[in-house]
Amino acid sequence: MRTFKLQVQTTVDGYMAGPNGEMDWMTFPWTDDINAYLDALTEPVDCVVLGRKLAEGFIPTWAAGPEGEDQASIDKMNNTPKVVVSNTLTESPWDNAVVAGGDLAAIVDKLKEQPGGDIIAYGGGTLVSSLIAEGLLDELHLLVNPTAIGAGMPVFPALGKNQPLRLVAARQFDCGITAMHLEPKRA
């Protein structure tokens, strides 16, 4: 069965965006060590899962070839098939992307049962919150930026119950970001 990963940038106080979706707190430029880490994380990935709101910016940005990104990363993002989770879209307006709606657990189960490599979710906020709350992830990769913003969109919303996690590894990078690789503790 395929591994379903989440990669998300977060503040040290646990927010993935500011109160109005601000992302100006993220640490840039990245250093070679974090780029190598992310290359290794995404190398086995052959499916990207996005929420509709994130997809609206993410897919066109990568299609345009964002400044400062190497061509190999641009090609990886553009050539990897994407699944956009949405209950409002019925078909994809983007190349190399399909829309999946309905029950999130059923969507994830169907993806994991298909042959292939790893699956990675990048967000947005509603999707990330739902994936965590429903316990659908195999791995969480939090890129903790060395800043606090005090309010915003939490990575871990009101879950309704404790979700024990096991720290697999933590690594600090030269740019100041710390990666935390976590896995859910399952009974």
> What does pTM read for this prediction?
0.94
Contacts 24+ apart (CB under 8 A), 77-80: 77/48, 80/45, 80/46, 80/47, 80/48
Q: CA angle, 169 as apex, 166 and 170 as ends, to 5°? A: 115
**Tens-digit pLDDT string for the chain (187 aa):** 899 999 999 999 999 999 999 999 999 999 999 999 999 999 999 999 999 999 999 999 999 999 888 898 899 999 999 999 999 998 999 999 999 999 999 999 999 999 999 999 998 888 999 999 999 999 999 999 999 999 999 999 877 788 899 999 999 999 999 999 999 998 7
Specify the pLDDT at position 187.
72
Specify the pLDDT at position 177.
98
Specify the pLDDT at position 130.
92
CATH code of the domain in which 162 resides: 3.40.430.10
Specify the pLDDT at position 161.
82
Q: Do the beta carbons of residue 5 and residue 130 sit within 8 Å?
A: no
CA distances from 129 to 38, 152, 159 (A): 22, 13, 9
Domain that holds residue 143: 4-184
Number of domains in the chain: 1
